[in-house]
Amino acid sequence: GENVEQHPSTLSVQEGDSAVIKCTYSDSASNYFPWYKQELGKGPQLIIDIRSNVGEKKDQRIAVTLNKTAKHFSLHITETQPEDSAVYFCAPRKKSGGGADGLTFGKGTHLIIQP
Amino acid sequence: DTEVTQTPKHLVMGMTNKKSLKCEQHMGHRAMYWYKQKAKKPPELMFVYSYEKLSINESVPSRFSPECPNSSLLNLHLHALQPEDSALYLCASSQPFRGTSGRHNEQFFGPGTRLTVL
């Protein structure tokens, strides 16, 4: 099965600065790389994802970069704002033969935005 | 409507009680999931239903019994739980994907039920 490592476990940054969270995976067959955000009292929510035929994807202040050779992908948040404070999870996965698969999450990163 | 609803929000039960958690979605999704999340940990998969049939059971103890009465509803029946079962129980839904060229479809999560077993 997939072995997922996520770093750091806690990240504190000043409002307006950038934050980077890294996820390392073991299964070279993985081809889909999403990031989920979980705010207090809520379920996880997909914020950005990337597929293995793309090296980078941006959506306003957030971006995901993928290095398939090194088997890691990263979440980048620029111009951080208080509402970015949350726990972020990566959940790399591979295409299965059909049906539905559950997600295997990394251990999570608690991002704290300091005013 | 991209919402998954879960009831109740909070539940306190004794070890001899029987209770049920409920999950509902109206996005037309045909895959539904139960996850368990302990404090400061990631969600862990418990069960997957695909087209109203149980397709994955991650070796969950039989005191947890899932049920999918129709394509919009998912229940989790609880009986004789232990204090260590106290956790946040999350429901999610997505479209399942077919074949080797299938897409990875986004899972939409509900807010969860906070369960405390005394």
Tens of pLDDT, residue by residue, chain B (118 residues): 669 999 999 999 999 999 999 999 999 999 999 999 999 999 999 999 999 999 999 999 999 999 999 999 999 999 999 999 999 999 999 987 654 444 567 899 999 999 999 9
Smallest CA-to-CA distance from A104 within B33, B39, B97, B4 is with: B33
- Residue A83 has phi, psi (to 5 degrees) of -75, -5
Write out residues 4-23 of B within 8 Å (CB-CB) of A.
4
Q: Which residues contact A47 (CB under 8 A, 6 or more apart)?
A: A35, A36, A37, A59, A62, A88
A45, A67 in Cβ contact below 8 A?
no
* Contact residues, chain A, for B92 at CB < 8 Å: 43
Which pLDDT score, from 0 to 100, does residue B1 have?
A: 66
pLDDT tens per residue across span B97-116:
654 444 567 899 999 999 99
Alpha-carbon distance of B37 to B88, in angstroms, equals 5
DSSP state string for A5-21: EEE-SEEEEETTS-EEE
Do the Cβ atoms of B58 and A41 come within 8 Å?
no
Alpha-carbon distance of A27 to A108, in angstroms, equals 19
Q: Is A60 left (phi over 0), alpha (psi -120 to 50) or beta?
A: left
Alpha-carbon distance of B20 to B117, in angstroms, equals 13
Q: What pairs with residue A10 in β-bridges?
A: A110
pLDDT along chain A (115 residues), means of 10: 91 98 94 94 94 89 96 97 98 72 93 96
* Contact residues, chain A, for B102 at CB < 8 Å: 95-96, 98
Q: What pairs with residue B70 in β-bridges?
A: B73
Overall residue count recorded for chain A in this entry: 115
Please check whether residue B98 touches A, CB under 8 A. yes
